[in-house]
Structure 1
Amino acid sequence: MTNADGQSNYSRIEKAIQYLEENFKQQPDLDAVAEKVHLSPFHFQRIFSEWAGISPKRFLQFLTVDFLKTKLSESKNIVELADAAGLSSQSRVYDLFTTLEAVTPQEYKQHGAGIRINYGFHETPFGLCLLGVTERGICWLSFLQADGDPRNELDSMKHHWNNSVFYQDQPLTASFIDQIFSNQRTATKKLHAFVKGTNFQVKVWEALLRIPMGNVVTYQDIAAQVNSPKAVQAVGSAVGANHIAFLIPCHRVIRKDGILGEYRWSATRKKGIIGWEMAKFKA
């Protein structure tokens, strides 16, 4: 959703989150935050509550180090998280939410040769995104910076799938957006991810799919899950190489000290996504 001046509501929300974090010691009130994003207090409270379902003050509580440390202590391992979400086994995570298919070794060597990718640019709860879809599933999702050039994201997708053929098809990709960002996915509406990566990267991305929405884990947790407990740095690299944002939830991996850390599509957006998910599930 975009305002009359062309600025999306999410860009204002992101600025507000950044301002609240930078000035948390002063505990700025609603009027101060609204002024910072050039809105009336009433208008800002309304758009933030519509977006998150809670007040800005309550939202910020989800992003404190103490709160996140508590969430980590509750999340001893990914299997326990899946069980807590009412899933009888790890495989049930895929049945209910997302299936993942990787390119074959031959396709990996050919860098996507012969694969048709339809793409489109769409507004999401976290700003403008680029979505790429093949007949075998969603193969790309990236967020654009507020002042970024859409062509740069398109170039990144084309570089990743550099021997594929690309066609813009807004109606086709639009049909996926609501389903991707819904917090009520069901077994009758499965989402399929189609990825290109090394065997190790694919194992890490599969582990990410086992993290239920509204929860966070550490890089060490993921390393243990893929049976490589000493490969924390390699896990971090694989998490950062994820090319399907949000759907493969690399944003749910944080540092063991409770710091959220960096994110390929901006650290502030990572805060926004984590807080939004926790608000939806009333963490």
Structure 2
Amino acid sequence: MEYEQTYHYRLIARAIAQIAASGPELSLNALAREMDLSPAHLQRVFTQWAGISPKKYQQFLTADVARTLLAQRHSTLDSALGAGLSGGGRLHDLIVQWEGMTPGTYAAKGAGLTIRHGVCDTPFGRAVAMASAHGLCAIGFTSHQPADLTRQDLQRRWPAATFEPDDGRLQDLVTAAFAGDASALHLMGAPFQVKVWQALLEIPEGAVTTYGDIARHIGHPGAVRAVGTAVGRNPIAYLIPCHRVLRRDGGMGGYHWGVESKRQILALEAARTDPPVSDGVIG
């Protein structure tokens, strides 16, 4: 089962990247040839694992996703999000585990912690993953830089921790987390950072918010810049959805793991929660 999951993760990641690179004229047949699959098989597997058809994903990816989402699905985080937060195992149902990293331990820069690291497959391409004894503590995509640089970037967050190579369990943790496992994460940061990251978990899939909204939601309306810094320091890419934060003017804004990755993720989430916005070529 693990092999099947990682195989499909790689397949979907390749297809997403190909659609993004090729633009709106790419047909299902052409995409299938690139993937060395029959069109019917590609359509079935993509829909099963991405939750939408290749055509629907293409439609959203070629639209001005950020501005459309900000105009139509802007969440202020202050309203009751109960309905949005109960999406059948969606990632915003994940429970943040604070017990394994007290503020004092964080101040000690991870001293006394052992963190395993390795490269794993995700639906958005290869990523460096890290885990403590309490669960996944870091995921960083490698699409915009070599895996070694991503690993070093993440390790700098806890420089006094002991880092060890993966012992074979990380892919299972990553697969479980992307499937919505509420026990899979161990969020480590300063108290203000964790408060911001917890706010990110309240943004439903398909919705977006702004830095100012988060600042008001956590009770620090004047701390927009500090919120932006905390969002950028989120160590667990995608699972803690910092990609759902946009500039107030509708701009995409930054993304620590590459703005193109942010655009692709937002398009996929929007497509899973809305009807098509236009006609596309892919079937």
TM-score class, shorter: 0.7 to 0.9
The letter for the 1-side match of 2:138 is W
TM-score normalised by L of structure 1? 0.77
Cα 1:54/1:192, change in 2 over 3 Å? closer
- Whether 1:177 and 2:170 are equivalent positions in the alignment is no
Contact 1:255 1:261 in 2 (8 A): yes
- Whether 1:116 and 2:114 are equivalent positions in the alignment is yes
Q: Which residue of 1 is the match for residue 236 of structure 2?
A: 244
Contact 1:180 1:191 in 2 (8 A): yes
Contact 1:251 1:273 in 2 (8 A): yes
For 1:266 and 1:128, the matched residues in 2 are separated by 13
The letter for the 2-side match of 1:17 is A
Q: Secondary structure at the match of 1:119?
A: strand
For 2:92 and 2:231, the matched residues in 1 are separated by 22
Q: Which consecutive residues of structure 1, in runs of 5 or more, have no partner in the other structure?
A: 21-26, 88-92
Please point out which of 143, 147, 150 is paired with 2:147: 150
Say what the alpha-carbon RMSD is for the aligned residues: 3.4
For 1:51 and 1:96, the matched residues in 2 are separated by 19
For 1:273 and 1:66, the matched residues in 2 are separated by 10
Please point out which of 263, 266, 269 is paired with 2:255: 263
- Whether 1:196 and 2:195 are equivalent positions in the alignment is no
* Number of corresponding residues: 263
Q: Which residue of 1 is the match for residue 246 of structure 2?
A: 254
For 2:219 and 2:204, the matched residues in 1 are separated by 20
Q: Deviations over 1:227-279 (max 9, x none)?
A: 22232222222111111111211011112333323211111211222222333
The letter for the 2-side match of 1:13 is I
Higher mean C-alpha displacement, 246-255 vs 151-160: 151-160
- The alpha-carbon deviation at position 170 of structure 1 amounts to 4.2
Q: Which consecutive residues of structure 2, in runs of 5 or more, have no partner in the other structure?
A: 1-5, 276-283
Contact 2:16 2:124 in 1 (8 A): no
Q: Deviations over 1:133-186 (max 9, x none)?
A: 11233211111126x43222222222221111112224221221222112xx36
- Trace 1:43-82 onto structure 2 (pairs within 5 A): 48-49=46-47, 51-63=49-61, 64-65=63-64, 68-69=67-68, 72-80=71-79, 82=81
Cα 1:33/1:263, change in 2 over 3 Å? farther
Q: Which residue of 2 is the match for residue 131 of structure 1?
A: 129
The letter for the 2-side match of 1:98 is I
- The alpha-carbon deviation at position 207 of structure 1 amounts to 0.8
Contact 2:91 2:239 in 1 (8 A): no
